[in-house]
Each structure stands twice: as C-alpha cells, then as structure tokens.
Amino acid sequence: MFTKILLLCFLIGYVVAADDQDSSEEEYDYNYVPFQGPPFDKFDWRLVNEIIQEEKSNLVVSPFSLKVLLTLLLEATGARSNTELKTQTERELEQVLSDFSFQQADEIYEKVFDSIKKPNKNYILDVGTKIYVNDFIKPINKYASLIEYRYNASIESISFGNPRYATQIINQWVANVTQGHIRNLVNEDAVAESVMIMLNAIFFKGLWRHPFPENETAPYPFKSYGESKPTNVQFMQQTGQFFYDDSVALNAQLLRLPYKGKKFAMTLILPNENSNLQQLMEKLNSSSLKLAKWYMEENDVKVKIPKFKFDYKINLNEAVKQLGIRDIFTANASLALLSRGEGTRNELVVSNIVQKAGLAVDELGSVAYAATEIQLVNKFGGDTMKEFTANRPFLFFIEDETTGALLFVGKVVNPAALGKKAQ
C-alpha cells in the first residue's frame, strides 16, 4: 500500500477600506516605483500561464504558496550544500526555481517573516509553516533546524494511526491560521495513507488606500466570453489618482490599486477590446510585465470594476510537470533529508499537488485564501482623465511590492459566478 506525504500550503488575505488618509501614504504613491531587485516571479508567471490557458472559469492561485513548498522539497534534496553529483530531482527543482538563488530566497523570506514580527496598524501579515509527521517518522535534525531557521517552520509528531484525531489537529491548525476560511482541508482517508503532512499558511489583512464609496456601486453590464449578451453585475466605481498605463506591448490597460501600509498592491490587467486573455497570456511573462509596470504613470483615472467572489480548486500535477518538475512524481525521487525513519528515508515520492483558493472583492477591499496540497507516497508503496472599466474578462495579481513576491494571481471571466470546484 502506498504511504502518502501531503505538503499543504494556505494563503489567506483580507482587505478592508481605510477610513483615513495621511500625507506619508500619499507621498509614497507619488514616489512609487516598481520593485527593482532581481526578479522573483519568473516561476510564478510560467505557472500561471500553464494554468490559465486550460481554465475557462474564474480562477485564483497562489504562486508564492506553491513556491514555498517546492523550496522545502528542494531543501530536502540537500541542494543547499551539494556542489557535485546532483540528483535529477535536485536538478529539476533548481532549474524550475532558477529565478532565485538560496541567498536571494533567504533575503525575501526573511523580509516576509520580519513583517510578521513588526506590528502594523494598516495590515496584518501572518505566516505559518508546520510539518506533521507520523509518530514512527524520525525527522533529520539538520533539516529540521534549517527549515526552522530559514522558514520559521516547526515539526510535530502525531499518530496518523488515529486518522480522525490527526485530521482534527491538522484542520484546526489550518483554520486558526486562515481565521476560519479553510476548515476541512484534509480528510481522514488522506491522513490514514500519509506519513507526513507539510503545511504553509499565510494570512493577510489590509486596508484599501482608496476605498470605493458604497453609494456609487450600481449594476453595469459585463460581457463574458462566449455569451451573446452581457450580464448586469454590481460594479464599484471611483475617480482618483492611480498608476495606470495603456500598454501597446501587451495590448491591455494596467491599473494599480494600492493597499494602505506602503507594501501591498493589486494590479489589474484588462485586455483591450480587440484582444482577450489568451492573447494577453501569450505576451505576458516576468520581463514583459516588469517593463509594462515601469511605463505606468500616475493619472486621474475613472475606475469601474465589478464586485466578485468565488472559490477555486485545482490539481497542479500536470502544470508542475509541464514546467519541468517530473522526477518528484517517480520512483527516482530523491528527498533524502525529509526523514531518517525506517522504510521512508529517500523513499518518498509526490503523488498529488492540489491547491484550494478563494477571493472576494468589494468596496471594503478583498478576502483571498488558498491552500496547496502536495501528496507524496512511498515509492515502494497622464494629464488627461483615463478610464478603466473592467466590463470584460481581466487578469489580476496581488504583490508584495517590497520583495516582488506574488501572493495571488487570478482572472475574472464572470463576476456573478461563485467559481469552479476542481474534481
């Protein structure tokens, strides 16, 4: 019988409107420039491109969430200290995650964790990384110390032989970190077949810097792909100064909606009427987006975007394989640092990578959450007014502008739909 290891990752965000403005916030907007460090999002946009082309419905995913787990797997290969005789598992993970070195990743994750330790009245950022192991598993001390130091992760031993109890413990941890948005991530059957469950969770709560007046919300037509007639949905609107660009290279409009706190922002990318999301994704990558963001300038913009709320679930196996990570799914997988327990040392293989996510955007801000599950098995087992009216499918992403880390990426094709549940 195959013995599964699940690696789970969760991302929750909650954003509400600010009631006040201050001069330092406005000064920050005036002096805003895109992230100038080495790119940290090459993997992210390659992942999104693999997913978005196949999905016809609304979607939201967390590249950051998945990347943390894949980085933990890379650490489990011993890549940080290996200089020669690299395994295929290590080579594939390093190549796909090649947009950052361990040094750069360490710096970025350190900034994220520093944000947790420093209270901020404008936002809450909480990150948790937890590894639950079956009671016969013996974690390798070197790996345990490394992930505690670099990723603020802890390891706890529980009995998977009592799957009901273990399931309750794991789901309660998830619910606590996500403030109740994800309550039943794992089930007893999955836990009963597992020997290890690795969890990463992020909770984000922030304030729109420029909230949308609720009395301005009104029905407006939204034209989804394939529909003969547009559907009226609730649109929020406001006029103000925002960073905006009508990108010739992308054939799309870009709009930056900042959150209060000088750290996070949501950027919307709306294909022009003679284009669509598929054509946009053919042009969009880390480099083209970075260039487009540098062309953004502060303008008076009349903003009109729909309210929306949906959930999404996806199996990421094929997307990860298409990116070039295949060995972890085979009997050749080499994750030697995960365990020194009898029958499990270097005998673990990924069986499934699943992410659950959700997003809600309204006048007060946005609620966003995601959960990524990676299952492993025993291998032997400007000057003029601009208009930004998102009345057709569009792309969005939420970014930590101090590190370039993408917390969420998604698309809206039907604001009225609650979303698709993956099989």
What is the pLDDT averaged over residues 65-94?
Answer: 85
User: How far apart (Å, rounded) are the C-alpha atoms in residues 339 and 322?
Assistant: 28
Sign of CA dihedral 178, 184, 185, 186: positive
Instruction: Quick: pLDDT tens for 381-407.
Output: 545 789 999 999 999 998 888 888 888
> How does residue 6 score in pLDDT terms, banded at 50, 70 and 90?
low
Comparing 78-87, 296-305, 361-370, the range with the smallest average pLDDT is 361-370
Within-domain flag for 367: no
Q: Identify whether the C-beta of residue 286 lies closer than 8 Å to the C-beta of residue 397.
A: no
* Residues 299, 319 within the same domain: no
Q: What's the total number of domains in the chain?
A: 2
281 with 397, same domain: the answer is yes
For 243-283, what is each residue's pLDDT tens digit?
999 999 999 999 999 988 888 899 999 999 999 999 999 99
For 253, residues 6+ apart whose C-beta sits below 8 A from its C-beta are 244, 245, 246, 247, 269, 270, 272, 388
pLDDT tier at 380 (50, 70, 90 boundaries)?
low
- Give the closest residue to 54 by CA, choosing from 350, 233, 312: 312
Residue 241 in this model has a pLDDT that exceeds 80? yes
The pLDDT tens digits for 303-337 are 999 998 888 888 888 999 999 999 988 888 888 88
Helices marked H in 284-348? 286-294, 317-323
Tell me, yes or no, whether 4 lies in a domain.
Answer: no
At 1, the pLDDT band (50, 70, 90 cuts) reads very low
pLDDT for the residue numbered 377: 57
Give the range among 22-36, 70-84, 258-272, 281-295 with minimum mean pLDDT: 22-36
CATH number at residue 224: 2.30.39.10
More confident residue, 223 or 151: 223
In the structure, what pLDDT confidence band is assigned to residue 422 with cuts at 50, 70 and 90? Answer: very low
The pLDDT of residue 290 is 92
Reply yes or no on whether the pLDDT at 365 is more than 60: yes
User: Does residue 330 share a domain with residue 317?
Assistant: yes
Same domain flag for 195 and 252: no
Question: Are 82 and 187 in a shared domain?
Answer: yes
Contact (CB, 8 A) for 4 and 351: yes
Statement to judge: residues 95 and 137 lie in one domain: yes
Of 373 and 284, which is predicted with more confidence?
284
Report the mean per-residue pLDDT for the chain: 82
Other beta carbons less than 10 A from residue 324's beta carbon: 14
Angle at 152 between CA 148 and CA 156, to 5 degrees: 65
Q: Which domain holds residue 291?
A: 214-305+383-417
- Are 100 and 176 within one domain? yes
Instruction: Out of 75-89, 109-123, 210-224, give the one with best mean pLDDT.
Output: 210-224
Q: What is the CATH number of the domain that holds 83?
A: 3.30.497.10
**Across 180-206, average pLDDT:** 78
- Provide the pLDDT for residue 261: 84
User: What average pLDDT score do residues 40-59 get?
Assistant: 88
- Cα 279 from Cα 275, distance rounded (Å): 6
Q: Residues 226, 132: one domain?
A: no
Q: What is the average per-residue pLDDT within 191-207?
A: 76
The DSSP symbol for 212 reads: P
347 vs 25: which has the higher pLDDT:
347
In this prediction, residue 40 carries a pLDDT of 77
